[in-house]
Amino acid sequence: MQVGLIGLGIMGAPMARNLVKAGFPLTVSTRTPGKAARFAAEAASLGEVCAVDSAAQVAAASEVIITMLPDSPDVAGVARAADGVFAGAKPGAIVIDMSTISPQVTRELSAEATSRGVYWLDAPVSGGEKGAIEGTLTIMVGGDGAALDRCRPVLEAMGKRITYLGPSGNGQSAKLCNQIMTAVNLLAVCEALTFGAKAGLDLATLHQALTGGAANSWALEVLGRKMIDRDFAPAFMVRLQQKDLRLVFEAAREGHVPLPASALSHQLLAAVEAEGRGHDGTQSLVRIFERLAGLEK
């Protein structure tokens, strides 16, 4: 099965490597000049990979076309551009958008794809850079179930839990549920570690204790450890978490759903952005809590 991938960022590049390792002939492109060619040269030892200049060329060469891009306008632009996916995709091709974007925009793109004889699956992921590197992503899929069955081996090269959630847009809605929980869990970890530090506890020992009990979570295990180690490098940037929360609030406003805890996370992450740390990992939020508690590090 010929596969294409558009977008070679923090998530897209390791996902592409796993596709090549799994034996799929891969065609790649990216908006950054030269980036796709550099990736192809680096991944050539793993398998068959070709860099091209446009999304249309990726689509023309592929039965399955994956997009992994930052936001709704990016995905819509890559799909609809004169040299975009729709311009090059052959009838029967499957587009798998693995970005996190608006459920409504997803439904619009899916309808447009259908009118062109192309399938559109929304398949956003959870698991961060670590999951992308290890091929253990959780993948939430909306769209045509038969199309999913056809391309499931492609998804299995990148993830371990692939869940079909129903019609187009449902994968994105499920991902937004995930982002609500990650944002609120992040708050809890920041509060607990700040409280522990103020109480004079050794945070490494505290982390060992908490990860063994009912309070444990991925946020505590992974992000809590990074907070303690003062590692604020981005596996998932603050600015992207803020983008995802914007999508959450847009959808929540349409459905009249109150999300007070998510709103608090959003406002406190805005304080991180105000300090010029929008490209930090989300664990950088702990600095705001430390500052509020009089703990400067």
By annotation, the residues acting in catalysis are: 175
Q: Where are the alpha helices (DSSP H) in the chain?
A: 12-21, 35-43, 55-60, 72-80, 85-88, 103-115, 128-134, 145-156, 170-198, 203-210, 218, 225-229, 238-255, 260-274, 286-292
Q: Give the Cα separation of 53 and 195 in Å (integer).
A: 51
Q: What sign results for the dihedral spanned by CA atoms 232, 236, 241, 243?
A: positive
Beta-carbon contacts of residue 235 (< 8 Å; ≥ 6 apart): 10, 128, 129, 130, 281
| Phi, psi (rounded to 5 degrees) for 46 | -90, -25
